[in-house]
Structure 1
Amino acid sequence: MITLRSLKKLSSQNAAAIILFLAAILAAVVANSSLAPIYQSFLSQELHLRVGDFNLLSHGGHNLTMIEFINDCLMTVFFLAVGLEIKRELLVGELSSFRKAILPFIAACGGMIFPVIVYSFLVASGTPETQGMAIPMATDIAFSLGVLSLLGNRVPLSLKIFLTAFAVVDDIGGILVIAIFYSAEVAYGYLIAAAVLYAFLYYMGKRGVTQKIFFLFFGLIIWYLFLQSGIHSTISGVILAFVIPARPRLNAGKYIRRIRSIIGTFPVMQSDNIVLTNEQIATLKQVERASDRVISPLQSLEDNLHGTVNFVILPLFAFANAGVVFSGGGDVVGNVAIAVGLGLLLGKFMGIYLFTWLSIKSGLVRMPEGMNWKNIAGVSLLGGIGFTVSLFIANLSFVGAYPELLNQAKFGVLCGTVVAGILGYIVLFRVLPKK
């Protein structure tokens, strides 16, 4: 049954995907227009947040530029939201048991291995181009689910769950790749200090501390420590998610009893005056406090971050990173562009579909109800929508030393994502039941 809440969620998801896509288009238009110098100047602008001689927005003695602030600071908030989603899925979602997780886990493994194989076949070994092998590994959850939602209630629930689950596993893979392969020389002193703070937050969570501002304050300190450590700072957001408590301070049964007790004492005034009395306001504030305590910090923070991440951070990230330059030095359609595009389009499709086929045909898992080989093919194509994390890894792979390769990688991500999304939609539109 489709509820008003589900329709609002669906509308919000589609709106976020549309805004993200428009931001990417705007970036490409601006980067190739007379506004390009202003665009580049904006991205290279240094930022300062000083207390005396201490600048929070600095790394290794250098102030962060705008694009570094977006990619190293704001994207940490995005990865915090991803970490919260992963933790929820591991605790109570589609990855909470072996039976639920095994099929999307296997599919995601195929979807990460085959794009790397396709990429490696298309670039020369031993060249700087090989640094981008991980770019086509990721699936963008927001975009892929946005395309799937265009088909409405024709999509079986099991197919939505399958796509969501293997995209979450993809995120885990992408996070591990960033942590392992895109870290500079490690300063262990900063990491030890961050580990001590994580242990402190975990302990305080176990002791019943649930205030989100408490965890976010220390999370900011941990982010700065990671920024100085050589491990990419966005990893701090993912780890922070796993020390934020997932249990509320007040269980549902106690909450209901407390609300009934509070409502029973609510001072009802026989008056048409719309202004509440002080006693009424105090009583309603008790209800508000009780309601806050029955929602876990994990769920509450995930809900709070949803709008900021989808409607502010990700569009700003797309605008800063999707500016493909079609003129100037270098060929935009080079080896990296082709390798990334085909890695997303063919590699993701072959990996997801083949590994799913092998796991079901071998008897390891059963075909989920509502799914068949035709709609699995369509969803496997949607797995090639890589956008956000792919652009992020492209920036880590080539920024600074290889601007031409970065430009090619951006073009490959955009082309691969768009073609995979269109083909996936066409296949699912044709194979899903009309009613």
Structure 2
Amino acid sequence: MSTNPPAKSKLFGRSSWTEWKRVADILRQETVGGMLLLAGAVVALVWANSPWSEAYTAARDFTFGPHSLHLDLSVGQWAADGLLAIFFFVVGVELKREFVVGDLRDPRKAAIPIVAAVGGVVVPAVIYAVINLGDSSALHGWAIPTATDIAFAVAVLAVIGRFLPSALRMFLLTLAVVDDLIAICIIAIFYTAELAVVPLLLALIPLGLFTLLVQRRVRSWWLLLPLAVVTWALVHASGIHATVAGVLLGFAVPALTRRGEAVSMAEHFEHRLRPLSAGVAVPIFALFAAGVAFGGLDGLAEALTEPVALGIIAGLLAGKAIGIFGTTYVMSRFTKAELDSDVAWIDVFGIAILGGIGFTVSLLVGELSFAEGDERGEIVKIGVLCGSLLSALVATVLLRFRNTHYRKVYEKETKDEDRDGIPDIYQGRSSSEDPLG
């Protein structure tokens, strides 16, 4: 009778080859999107602080659209309400797929990134609230430092950590996806000032038709796109932020494949729309959301002393790191899981700090937190930009220390001696030549 103790579960263990390929494809697209996002932000900052700053303001505030449908929006609002709906549609599709056929379908695998995402939301919010405790109006921005920008974070990884173990990359991606779901719930619940019930109920009609068509595997854009636009417009008219419509439409897309299908509907939509989201929607939003006039070094220094900016910076840099790393560590002790041999806790801490890059959704929440014309809206942008930049720099320093180790892991994960297109480690043939022992 065997007396061997049961094997302990592994934390950040290697996934299947299929999942690795899927995540690698997503990360490649998000890397390009992140570079474009950074370019859009830089252009916005240079333009807003140049002699042509008035032209930037005029372009951002130019209003167009039918007034009768409550869609007479500025260019900046169209970018935030319209283009980001595409981004959140992709988030919805990705979440649906993760919970149905991805790693999140297994409660044991899902527990760590979900709890880490929750910790990465709660701790930054608490830090922001403590710093701004004496100002009730400033507390409206409590959710600003709670978001992780996956495109920005992956773009940083592409520069400083492209050899990072695949399990950590997948953890960051899953964490950010769950983080986006929490963010959209926060927006829907806490940043809806007035709710118009009739448009919201009417939105269920095109949403239901869209769901029926995609469940029947209809892919005709000329049928689905009008239904999606009408759903978006009615949700916008209801007072709920229109990006919520994107998530609901994404949830409607089936993630399972039927007999005869090469890919699921979720994969089909994701492959079609992720490039549009990462390469067009998010960079344009950054272009019209990140432009803030610093007023020179003195103005920048003064803005950084404001409690709102300090709360955002501390929330992103310290709050995200403490929340993500702390909950992950506690969960590992609670579940008695052991770290995979390729990963050390310093790596997890580096990823947690990288989670403090909260750009796109943080700027969106900042716009919703304060009324138009409130000077704190500009302070929010400075806080988000500085907090995200500091998180990126600190994570870079930490992760670069372990780059030699990461290269060895990368070589092990990509070795393909039989040249069949599948790394040997995913076929169980590389243990005898494990360069890490």
TM-score (norm 1): 0.82
1:192–1:350: structure 2 CA closer, same or farther, 3 Å change rule? same
**Which of 374, 378, 392 is 1:407 aligned to?**
378
Q: Does residue 332 of structure 1 match 2:270?
A: no
SS in 2 for 1:242: helix
Change (3 A) 1:84 1:431: same
Q: Is the 8 A contact 2:41 2:291 kept in 1?
A: yes
Distance 2:321 2:131 in 1: 17
The aligned residue for residue 386 of structure 1 is: 358
**Structure 2 match to 1:367:** 339
The residue that corresponds to 1:353 in the other structure is 325
Q: Does 2:134 align with 1:163? A: no
Aligned-partner SS, 1:147:
helix
Give 1:140's aligned residue. Answer: 149
SS at match of 1:150: helix
For 2:135 and 2:24, how far apart are their aligned partners in 1? 50
CA contact (8 A) 1:134 1:393 kept: yes
The correspondence of residues 17-416 of structure 1 with structure 2, limited to 5 A, is: 17-48=34-65, 55=66, 60=70, 63-151=72-160, 154-248=163-257, 250-251=259-260, 294-327=262-295, 331-333=302-304, 334-363=306-335, 365-368=337-340, 370-402=342-374, 404-416=375-387
Ranges in structure 1 where 5+ consecutive residues have no aligned partner: 49-54, 253-293
How far apart are residue 102 of structure 1 and its match?
A: 0.4
Which consecutive unaligned segments of at least 5 residues does structure 2 have?
1-16, 409-437
Displacement of 1:415 in angstroms is 0.7
Which residue of 2 is the match for residue 52 of structure 1? none
Identity percentage of aligned residues: 34
Q: Which moved more, 1:343-352 or 1:187-196?
A: 187-196
Report the alpha carbon displacement of residue 155 of structure 1 after superposing the two structures with TM.
Answer: 1.3
Contact 2:120–2:320 (CA under 8 A) maintained in structure 1: yes
Report the CA distance shift for 1:96/1:63 in structure 2 as closer, same or farther (over 3 A): same
Query: Quick one: which of 24, 27, 32 aligns to 1:15?
Result: 32
- Distance of aligned partners of 1:88 and 1:145 in 2 relative to their CA distance in 1, 3 Å threshold: same
Over 3 Å counting, the alpha-carbon distance change for 1:79 and 1:58 in structure 2 is farther
CA-based RMSD: 2.6
* Post-superposition offset of 1:31: 1.0
TM-aligned CA distance change 1:67 to 1:116, over 3 Å: same
The secondary structure found in structure 1 opposite 2:376 is helix
Deviates most, 90-99 or 389-398: 90-99
User: Number of aligned pairs?
Assistant: 385
Distance 1:7 1:90 in 2: 19
Q: Which has the larger radius of gyration?
A: 1
Deviations 1:36-90, CA, capped at 9 Å, x for gaps: 1111111111213xxxxxx2x7654x61111111111111111111111111111
Superposition deviation, residue 11 in structure 1: 5.3
What does the per-residue CA deviation read over 1:240-265, in whole Å, with 9 as the maximum and x for residues that have no partner?
Answer: 1111233456525xxxxxxxxxxxxx
Taking the aligned partners of 2:254 and 2:29, their CA distance within structure 1 comes to 27
Q: CA deviation at 1:9?
A: 6.5
